[in-house]
Amino acid sequence: MEQFEKNGRAAAAGGGTGAADSSGLKRQKQTERKACAAALCGNAIFGFSFLASKIAMDAAEPLVLLAARFLFSLVFMTALVAVGAVKLRLKGKRPARLLPLGILQPVIYFLCESYGIKFTNSSFAGTMIALIPLATLFLGIFLLGEKCGLRQVGWAVCSFIGVAVISLSGSEAGVVSAKGILLLIGAVFASSLFMVCSRKLSEEFTAFERTYVMFLVGGAFFTVAAAAQLRFDGAAIAAEIVRCGRADFLLAVIYLSLISSVAAFMLINYSAGKIEARRSASFASISTVVSIAAGVLVSGEPFGLAQLLGSALILLGVYRLNAGDERAEEVESPSHQSLA
């Protein structure tokens, strides 16, 4: 009888543990799905930024546009802190750890991407930039100790092939110089290291804090760089500011600052803190699909077989990489093992 009671208590305790494990797994899956949705939305926003950038660069030089974009973003986020809408708690933390994050993204990435395109062409550049999810996958393994199987690598390659099909179908003439290739490699590693660093720093800093310091660094750097490009000439700077007063430029900068910078990078940083770096970065290819859709719907750009095939490969790769990770976690979870 006593042994029977002990067995009953053990079974009850085991059942309680199983229920707790099941509840914890459910919460974890909900968090991961929110993070995936955040990465999807953030990269979808980036997809529309190409049109906005095209409009804005008709009125201003790239460095002036970047300065306006990140300064406006910084002012908006500072206003949110000032009115108490968001808390910025850096006291007692080590904010200097965030500086490399801001240097990687937006400073190094945007410089390398912009000048990499200049010294190659947009088709080649698009294919190179599509290597970011793959580079993030391997950096996550080596720097964060994340686990990854051959299937995940295969689905990441699937998305890359999709982007390559789209980019190379619109192949442009032009010299692809070694300088341009090196700059684009710099952009790939800057973005990949940014994802890895953001995930690591999420242990100490919120998504808002990481994004705020990124824009502080970016706004300061690009403002000085734009002024230097104008040789710190007051008259030239004043003339550039007047040119930036155009309504189309201002509307484009509002989108690029508030939506494509503040909202999108907040979503990306949130995602990076909740799921593996490779999963968060895998959604980067979605921006290619969205930019194609925006070009077709807004600018009347052509949509052919290459765009259809490439978009399908991108979506398949992103879906399978993330869905496959979820199923693997379910199989490996303690609650599922106890039911086996």
Higher pLDDT, 38 or 49: 38
Which residues, 6+ apart, have CB-to-CB distance to 202 below 8 Å? 210, 269, 272, 273, 274
Sorting pLDDT into bands at 50, 70 and 90, what band is 92?
confident
Q: Average of pLDDT values for 145-154? A: 88
Highest mean pLDDT among 60-64, 102-106, 152-156: 102-106
Taking each helix axis as running N to C, give the angle between helix 109-118 and helix 178-201, from 0 to 180 degrees, rounded to the nearest 10.
160
pTM of the model: 0.84
pLDDT value at residue 339: 31
pLDDT value at residue 180: 87
pLDDT at 24 over 80: no
pLDDT value at residue 20: 61
Report the C-alpha gap between 101 and 328 in whole angstroms: 31
Sorting pLDDT into bands at 50, 70 and 90, what band is 326?
low
Side-chain-side CA neighbours of 259 within 13 Å: the count stands at 17
Q: Give phi and psi for 316, each to the nearest 5.
A: -65, -45
pLDDT value at residue 338: 37
Measure Cα distances from 251 to 64, 68, 153, 257 in Å: 15, 12, 40, 10
- pLDDT tens per residue, range 217-275: 999 999 999 999 998 998 888 988 888 888 889 999 999 999 999 999 999 999 999 99
Closest CA to 323 of 23, 24, 28, 36: 36
The domain spans of the chain are: 47-332
Report the C-alpha gap between 277 and 263 in whole angstroms: 19
pLDDT at 43 over 70: yes
Which residues, 6+ apart, have CB-to-CB distance to 44 below 8 Å? 286, 287, 290
- pLDDT tens per residue, range 286-299: 988 888 888 888 77
pLDDT value at residue 324: 67
Average pLDDT in the chain: 85
Q: Average of pLDDT values for 43-47? A: 91
pLDDT value at residue 205: 95
pLDDT at 57 over 90: no
281, burial (CB in 10 Å: exposed 0-12, middle 13-18, buried 19+): buried
